[in-house]
Amino acid sequence: MTVSLPVNKRLANVKARLNEPYLIINIFLAGVIMLVMIYSGIFSPDRNSYPVECIHEKLTGEPCVSCGLSHSFSLILRGRIDEAYQWNEYGMRIFLFFASQLIFRIVFSGIYINHPEIRKQLIIYDIIGSVTIFLIAFMPFLIWIFKFS
Amino acid sequence: MEETKNNSGQNLGIAALITAIITFVLAVIPCVGLIAIIPGIIAIVLASIGLSQAQRNDSPRGVLLAGLIIGVVASLISFSQYFVAGKFADEIKNEKWSNKVEEIVNDVQENVVRDLEDANVSIKVEDGDEKVEINVSTGKSDKEKTLEDLEKGNDSVSAGK
């Protein structure tokens, strides 16, 4: 009896946490980033068997600014940084964006659960931080898009 | 019953926001930006349905609005990629022509420089018995040899002294 009560409480806590939209979003986004990492890890850069092809290259016949990103990610995961830069010079900053977001999701979720009194501020900080990192990481792509649009 | 209705609107909002965020990231990557319009439309539809439910039940709309706004912006960026592809193709065509002209100019320039490098100029002046001959060469090898001689200190001037 003494054991079942804390278990019930824990289950209730977990259920209550799963009702929090912020935590659900964090879990899903962390899952998506993990999938990106797994995708980069599974496909070998030496075999060049990536299923995603550049639509720009198909349409125009010329590589775009983000071509070679999958290769670059795979090479970064394997520690071949120099080769990764050769495939896509912006690969590292995009990879760092995803890696930082994975850490953000875990850390911010932990703070959100443990400090309910600062939840609103935490979400605001998360939005500001994520948007800033996003702009820094994707700036070359954004410049490229706005250059042609 | 009312709580479950509120939750359904909220769940749609969460789904819309997650889809919209993923769409936004995809939309700014030119390689996959064109197909990001599909999840973008899904995010807008989910957020719109959620908003209508939330209006009926008078439940919070923050997540739904965030999902809708991010979804719309992401879809617009994705849609702009169609124009980007068109202009990019045009620019490539123009660049190809300008590159060809540039290549020809560079080739001509290289040939002229190569000819000048190997040129030997000889001037002869004769006035009765007096005869002066000046030989000038722009050859690279001669210059290098002279430089080497100067470095060694074996040039003709110092030898004469």
Q: How many angstroms separate the CA atoms of B64 and B37, rounded? A: 19
Is the CB of residue A64 less than 8 Å away from at least one CB of chain B?
A: yes
Give the residue, A132 or B121, on which the prediction is more confident: A132
Whole-number pLDDT of residue A12: 74
Residues 87 to 116 of A: which have CB under 8 A from any B CB? none
Domain parsing of chain B, residue ranges: 2-82, 120-160
pLDDT tens digit string along B42-95?
999 999 999 999 888 888 888 999 999 999 999 999 998 888 777 777 776 676
φ, ψ of residue B68 to 5 degrees: the values are: -65, -45
Cβ separation of A64 and B63 shorter than 8 Å? no
CA angle A45, A51, A54 (to 5 degrees): 90
Whole-number pLDDT of residue A59: 78
Q: What is the DSSP-derived secondary structure letter of residue B29?
A: S
Q: How many angstroms separate the CA atoms of B124 and A117, rounded? A: 99
Cβ separation of B88 and A148 shorter than 8 Å? yes
Nearest CA in chain A to B31: A54
φ, ψ of residue B15 to 5 degrees: the values are: -60, -40
The pTM (predicted TM-score) of the whole model is 0.70
Interface test with A, best of B88, B90, B95 (most A CBs within 10 A): B88
Cβ separation of B31 and A59 shorter than 8 Å? no
Residue B49 has a CB neighbour count (10 Å cut-off) of: 17
Q: Which residues of chain B are at the A interface, by a Cβ-Cβ cutoff of 8 Å?
A: 7, 10, 13-14, 17-18, 21-22, 25, 28-35, 63, 77, 80-81, 83-85, 87-89, 91-92
pLDDT at position B154 over 70 = no
How far apart are the two ends of chain B, measured CA to CA in Å?
A: 113
**Residues B2/B49, Cβ–Cβ less than 8 Å:** no
Question: Which among A25, A60, A66 is the nearest to B29, CB-wise?
Answer: A66
Domain parsing of chain A, residue ranges: 27-148
Q: How many angstroms separate the CA atoms of A6 and B99, rounded? A: 74
Whole-number pLDDT of residue A33: 95
Quick one: pLDDT band at residue B98, thresholds 50, 70, 90? Answer: low
Distance, in angstroms, between A1 CA and closest chain B CA?
Answer: 32
* Beta carbons within 8 Å of B146's beta carbon, 6+ residues apart: B155
Report ipTM for this prediction: 0.84
Whole-number pLDDT of residue B41: 95
Q: How many angstroms separate the CA atoms of B152 and A33, rounded? A: 66
pLDDT at position B115 over 60 = yes
Query: pLDDT in tens for each of the 149 residues of chain A?
Result: 445 557 777 777 777 767 788 999 999 999 999 999 999 998 888 877 788 888 878 877 788 888 889 999 999 999 999 999 999 999 999 999 999 999 999 999 999 999 999 999 999 999 999 999 999 999 999 998 888 76
* Beta carbons within 8 Å of A90's beta carbon, 6+ residues apart: A65, A66, A69, A140, A141
Inter-axis angle of helices B62-117 and B2-27, nearest 10: 0
Q: How many angstroms separate the CA atoms of B6 and B57, rounded? A: 6
Q: Above pLDDT 70, what percent of chain B?
A: 79
**Residues A99/A128, Cβ–Cβ less than 8 Å:** no
Q: How many angstroms separate the CA atoms of A121 and B67, rounded? A: 20
